[in-house]
Amino acid sequence: MTEILFKKTPLVDYIAITFGAILMSIGIGVFLVEARVVPGGVTGLAMAAHYLSDNSLPVGMVTWVLNVPLYIWGLKELGKQFGVRTFYGFTISSIGIDLFRGDIPGFSFIRLQDTLTIKDLLEKDFLFLVLVGAVLLGVGLGIIFKFRGTTAGSDIVASIMQKRFGMKPGQALMIIDFIVIALAGLIIEIKDLSPDRPAFSLTLYAFFLLFVSARILDVIIDGFDYARAAFIISDKTDEIADKIISRLSRGATALKSRGLYRNVDREVLLAVVPLKELGLLTDIIKETDSDAFVIINNVHEVLGEGFRRRI
């Protein structure tokens, strides 16, 4: 009971959002800004402004300044769904970017981007540098979203475009990110900020970054495919169910159904098993009824007895 009450307290959510924002800000401020690979969205615009100003405008500060009017617009257009957690999320991530880059007065000694590790990766293993930035960005965003926070920015614009014009959020985000990445690439080309790599190459890295971070974000939110759900259609459901219970120590659910081809009433078994037990389940089905019809689906999250607790 104590654990349940603890998990429901908002303090845990804010701690998790803080941790996610820190990971995100390290990925952006330490890895991606130095690589000149733009992640799109408001942060990408802030990076473009940073490059255009010859690095005089701090990325985090510009990100926060751009997010504030978007946040107010989102509150007016979409209501309180963009509440305190959104403001907290983009504020912490914006502060973190400038903090780890040493752009906040009094913290200029930090400058993680000047460490030997970052310089070595920038010179000798650029792809890995971008990959680490993508992973930190994706994991950070995933944790923030998992605990019901957001980082404002283009998410708000996409939601408003969906409300006003019926555009799918995914399409809106793709359009916004494409424009931002293209703009940043143009600025890098005009100002010749990357003599070692063509601006178009950095643009391709940016789209690669978006793909990797988006996939990682999905994994953090949905979880890894660690279980399978099997729908079993057979004339011997009772025997299969008995073996699942006795040999796997798992439960199964019988669903009433009617086969339209033969117009026969029957039961469909639903069983959820971990990946390591999937082979044994299929063996049980085959040895009991080789003609059984089986549908197996990926399962991202299972809540209940017999499976590990998920956040």
What local confidence, expressed as pLDDT, does residue 76 receive? 80
Q: Are 93 and 155 in contact (CB under 8 A)?
A: no
pLDDT score, position 298: 85
Tokens 């995933």 locate to 142
Strand-pair partners of 265: 258
Q: What is the largest CA-CA distance in the chain?
A: 78
Alpha-carbon gap, residue 38 to 209, rounded angstroms:
8
Class at the top of the CATH hierarchy for domain 227-299: alpha beta
Residue 172 has pLDDT above 80, yes or no: no
Q: What is the pairing mode between strands 264-274 and 253-259? A: antiparallel
User: What pLDDT digit, counting tens, does each position of 177-234 carry?
Assistant: 888 898 888 888 888 777 678 888 998 999 999 888 888 877 776 666 668 899 999 9
Give the pLDDT band (50/70/90) at residue 3. Answer: very low
Q: Tell me what the mean pLDDT of segment 105-122 comes to.
A: 93
* Start-to-end C-alpha separation, the chain: 16
CA–CA separation, 267 and 272 (whole Å): 16
> Which distant-in-sequence residues (6+ apart) come within 8 Å of 255 by Cβ?
267, 268, 269, 270
DSSP secondary structure letter of residue 31: I
Residue ranges of domains in the chain: 2-222, 227-299
What Cα–Cα distance (Å) separates residue 184 from each residue in 90, 94, 100, 112? 21, 19, 22, 23
Question: Beta-strand (E) ranges in the chain?
Answer: 227-233, 253-259, 264-274, 293-299
**Residue with the two structure tokens 């197996």:** 296
Q: Which residues pair with 229 in a beta bridge?
A: 272, 297
pLDDT value of residue 223: 67
Rounded Cα gap, residues 99 and 92, in angstroms: 10
- For 23-69, the pLDDT digits (tens) are 999 999 999 999 999 988 899 999 999 998 988 999 999 999 999 99
pTM comes to 0.76
Residue 109 has φ and ψ, to the nearest 5°, of: -75, -15
Distance CA 124, CA 265 (A): 66
- Please state, in angstroms and rounded to a whole number, the distance separating the CA atoms of residues 194 and 266: 67
pLDDT at 97 over 60: yes
